[in-house]
Amino acid sequence: GKLKQLRNMSHYRNVEVGRICWINYGELYGKTVSVVDILDQNRVLVDGPAVSRCQMPLRRLGLTNMKVAIQRGQRHKGVINAWNAAKIDEQWAKTSIARRLARSATRANLSDFERFKVGVAKRQRNAAVAVEAAKLKKQSKK
């Protein structure tokens, strides 16, 4: 009925075979996988280029709006082929989540000297912003 209609609208990201998800908890944090089969209410079978085929609780997955054209239970090779054909890695890198993860990783790996330089740059940027803000405030008061 109406619900099914809504579900088929483009904004919904369904848990379905071929749905690309990213793992948001645990050892495999940050990796992308494709849903290959649905095991029960809470678990799915996933597979992907960076993750060997395994079951994954849905709690650990964040859904993306990308899909690959695979069949239910598709074997690893088939998943990889479909993955490459759809250029998932490229699309994923453009998403804001992927960029956020990359930024976090860079920040975590900064050396003490690099962290110092970042701090200096931030302070300079904030000082420049403060100057402009003060100008605008003055203007608005007039």
Residues engaged in binding other proteins (CB under 8 A): 108-113, 115-117, 120
Shortest spacing between CB 116 and other proteins, in angstroms: 5
- Report the candidate in 91, 29, 93 with the shortest Cα–Cα distance to residue 66: 91
Between 12 and 25, CB nearer to other proteins: 25
Between 108 and 131, CB nearer to other proteins: 108
Q: Which helix (H) or strand (E) holds 129?
A: helix 112-141
Shortest spacing between CB 112 and other proteins, in angstroms: 5
- Report the candidate in 67, 105, 110 with the shortest Cα–Cα distance to residue 86: 67
Tokens representing 33 are 């996988």
Between 87 and 107, CB nearer to other proteins: 107
